[in-house]
Amino acid sequence: MHDAHIHRYFEVHGAHRVDVVSSRERRTWAVVALTAAMMVAELVVGSWTGSLALLADGVHMATHVGAIGLTAVAYGLARRWARHEAFTFGTGKVYSLAGYTSALALAAAAAWMCVEAVLRMVSPEAIHFGEALPVAVLGLVVNLASAKLLHAGHDHGHAEKDSGHAHDHDHDHAKSAHDHDPNLRAAYLHVIADALTSVLAIAALLAGRYFGLTILDPVMGIVGGVVILRWSWGLCKSAARQLLDVAPSLADTKLIREHLEAIDDVRVADLHLWELGPGERGCIVKIISSEPRSAKFYRDAIKSKVPISHLTVEVHRCEDEHCAS
């Protein structure tokens, strides 16, 4: 009897999610192709001219290609398996796994850049500044173009309502207008870091060519390595928090508890809030009350305070005769 309703439910929510992911996936692959071409140019010219700053930016580009490439692959896999019954809470954790792997690769590349810079300080090599400068400038242009592509794909979620769902096990893929995909935002910030590294490479080449400050070239290589290390550490922490189901916000957890316990004589016996994936949160709440209301009432109360994608509310009547007192 409910088959038609179930079919419509998944068509509305599932199709919207796949469309958004497909759009971001296409933009991400465009950025990968663009930066891969620039990466090859910088590595080749950097090796030929002897510029470590240019090589460092090329390596940074390579790590960027790897990181964003993993993001694109994650979008594809998540889209392909979005409705597979084996994934209990969906495929959002695919993004976290890709991000964590990317962070480890970035850290290794950053360490190599720093070691290479120190070796270059010990044993300096000649640098062809005139040939290296145009490539470095082109690298900056590519980074800015990539940032524009990713920013254009950073669209807002659309609020949707499921007015006919009457069970206490609620799925709502609605998002507020201010929710963004943290996976895509991380990629965007990484491109900005790439642009900063390109600026440092240009500054080092200009200082070396016109002022003879060749020491700045390896110094900028170290700076670039530190930028990658900091970014990879931040990505590693955020991805690990999702993989380990760490509560995304203790403040939100407290808000849910306090809001519920302000209703009648409600006591929250159990509360779990965790991230399912980009912009998706899960929550399980167990409520005890002497005169409990419907699960829908408590569910609506929770969602009026905190956006939840997958919300389960378990309601129990207190059998103790002193509960109401």
pLDDT digit string (tens) for the chain, length 325 residues: 455 544 443 433 343 455 556 677 788 888 888 888 888 887 888 788 777 666 766 776 777 787 788 778 877 877 777 677 777 777 778 878 877 887 787 788 788 878 888 888 888 777 777 777 887 788 788 888 888 887 765 543 333 333 333 334 444 433 333 334 556 766 777 777 778 777 877 888 888 888 888 888 788 878 878 887 887 888 788 888 888 888 888 999 999 999 999 999 999 999 999 988 777 889 999 999 998 999 999 999 999 999 898 899 999 998 776 565 4
The answer to whether residues 169 and 87 touch, using CB atoms and an 8 Å cutoff, is no
pLDDT at 138: 83
Query: What distances in angstroms separate CA 158 from CA 79, 135, 173, 177, 248, one per listed residue?
Result: 18, 41, 9, 6, 22
Distance in angstroms (rounded) separating the CA atoms of residues 31 and 184? 12
Q: Where does a domain end: 213, 243, 273?
A: 243
pLDDT at 283: 93
> For residue 10, what is the domain's CATH number?
1.20.1510
pLDDT at 60: 67
Under 8 Å CB-to-CB from 239, ≥6 apart: which residues?
96, 97, 99, 100, 103
Sheet holding 310-317, edge to edge: 169-171, 310-317, 280-289, 267-277
Q: Which two tokens stand for residue 65?
A: 């290609």
pLDDT at 210: 84
Query: By three-state DSSP, how is residue 299 classified?
Result: helix
Q: Based on C-alpha coordinates, what's the Rg of the chain?
A: 25
Instruction: Name which of 21, 154, 29, 169 is nearest 82 in CA terms.
Output: 21
What's the domain count of the chain?
Answer: 2
> For residue 259, what is the domain's CATH number?
3.30.70.1350
Tell me if 323 is assigned to some domain.
Answer: no
pLDDT at 57: 67
pLDDT at 161: 36
The total number of residues written for the chain in this structure:
325
Distance in angstroms (rounded) separating the CA atoms of residues 253 and 303? 12
pLDDT at 251: 93
Q: Are residues 274 and 133 in the same domain?
A: no
Q: Which residues pair with 315 in a beta bridge?
A: 287
Q: Are residues 27 and 174 in the same domain?
A: yes
Under 8 Å CB-to-CB from 261, ≥6 apart: which residues?
267, 268
Q: Are residues 158 and 305 in the same domain?
A: no
The answer to whether residues 55 and 39 touch, using CB atoms and an 8 Å cutoff, is no
Q: Are residues 110 and 217 in the same domain?
A: yes
**H/E segment holding residue 25:** helix 3-49
Q: Which residues constitute the domain of residue 122?
A: 3-243
Q: Are residues 164 and 260 in the same domain?
A: no
Burial of residue 277 (CB within 10 Å: 0-12, 13-18, 19+) is buried
Instruction: Name which of 24, 10, 11, 13 is nearest 174 in CA terms.
Output: 13
Tell me if 35 is assigned to some domain.
Answer: yes
Query: By three-state DSSP, how is residue 319 classified?
Result: coil
Q: Where does a domain end: 209, 243, 277?
A: 243
pLDDT at 163: 35
The residue behind tokens 């192709």 is: 33
pLDDT cut 90: percent of the chain above it: 16
Q: Which residues pair with 275 in a beta bridge?
A: 281
Distance in angstroms (rounded) separating the CA atoms of residues 158 and 195? 31
φ and ψ at 113, to 5 degrees? Answer: -60, -40
pLDDT at 142: 85
Q: Where does a domain end: 243, 260, 292?
A: 243
Distance in angstroms (rounded) separating the CA atoms of residues 47 and 54? 8
Residue environment code for 307-318, b if the CB has 16+ CB neighbours within 10 A, otherwise e: bbbbbbbebeeb
Q: Are residues 44 and 88 in the same domain?
A: yes
